[in-house]
């Protein structure tokens, strides 16, 4: 599979999944996730997928500064409804990394490893999302501010031409190049830019 080089330059994350360990799916229950995994889950690479990826990684880094994040032990609350805007797209990426689901996930074994009731919407949270550790109750609010990484000036015109079938092959290639260049800027140039991905303890002013 060929994909843009910057996918491998984007931050990745390693998590511990006790269910994977229990069932022998991964040695030690250790999973490594890269941005390409998010792209495969979403079926595309865009600023929304990139921001969902970064928000999830930054939140888990903050909640687990010394240990591996525990997949299946993290609650995630969204401020918006599940059908609002791009919330569903972001939720799918969050689920990929954290294992959290609303009511469609694994039901568990003898009361262990239940992945349901960990993903909620229409929540009163300070950011776009709130990530909470089930074991300690520690929580952080995160939000993406993609306006700080603007599109190329003529992106709208190119997109319109591509969507309506008026674009030449050269225009389509240029659109794809510019689209992914913005994604690259978010994931690589602004991966730890607090103006782009803001994070703070839950409830902080």
For position 110, what pLDDT does the model report? 87
Residue 97 maps to a domain:
yes
Domain membership of residue 187 (yes or no) is no
Q: Give the tens place of pLDDT for each residue, 41-85.
A: 999 999 999 999 999 999 999 999 999 999 999 999 999 999 999
> Is residue 105 situated within a structural domain?
yes
Cα distance between residue 87 and residue 93, in whole Å = 10
175 assigned to some structural domain: no
pLDDT at 205: 60
> 173 in a domain, yes or no?
no
CA 66 vs. chain centroid, Å, equals 21
**E strands, the chain, where?**
13-16, 30-33, 74-78, 119-120, 129-133, 139-144, 197-201
Residues of the chain under the 50 pLDDT cut: none
> Does residue 154 form part of some domain?
no
User: What is the domain count for the chain?
Assistant: 1
Task: Flag whether 183 is in a domain.
Answer: no
- Provide the residue range defining the domain that includes 75: 5-146+194-201
* pLDDT on residue 154: 87
Give the Cα separation of 115 and 108 in Å (integer): 7
Whether 189 maps to a domain, the answer reads no
> Are the C-beta atoms of residues 128 and 82 closer than 8 Å to each other?
no
Q: What is the pLDDT of residue 77?
A: 98
């Amino acid at each position: 599979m060929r994909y843009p080089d910057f996918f491998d330059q984007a931050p990745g994350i390693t998590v511990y999944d006790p269910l994977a360990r229990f069932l022998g799916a991964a040695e030690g229950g250790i999973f490594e996730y890269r941005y390409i995994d998010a792209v495969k889950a979403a079926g595309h690479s865009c600023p929304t997928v990139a921001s969902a990826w970064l928000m999830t990684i930054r939140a888990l880094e903050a909640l687990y500064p010394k240990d591996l994040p525990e997949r299946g032990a993290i609650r995630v609350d969204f401020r918006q409804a599940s059908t609002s805007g791009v919330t569903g797209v972001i939720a799918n990426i969050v689920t990929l990394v954290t294992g959290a689901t609303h009511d469609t996930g694994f039901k568990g074994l003898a009361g262990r490893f239940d992945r349901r009731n960990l993903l909620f919407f229409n929540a009163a949270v300070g950011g776009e999302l709130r990530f909470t550790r089930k074991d300690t109750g520690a929580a952080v609010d995160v939000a993406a501010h993609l306006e700080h990484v603007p599109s190329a000036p003529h992106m709208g015109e190119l997109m319109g031409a591509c969507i309506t079938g008026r674009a030449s092959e050269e225009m389509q290639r240029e659109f794809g190049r510019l689209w992914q260049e913005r994604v690259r800027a978010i994931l690589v140039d602004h991966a730890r830019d607090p103006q782009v991905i803001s994070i703070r303890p839950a409830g902080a002013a």
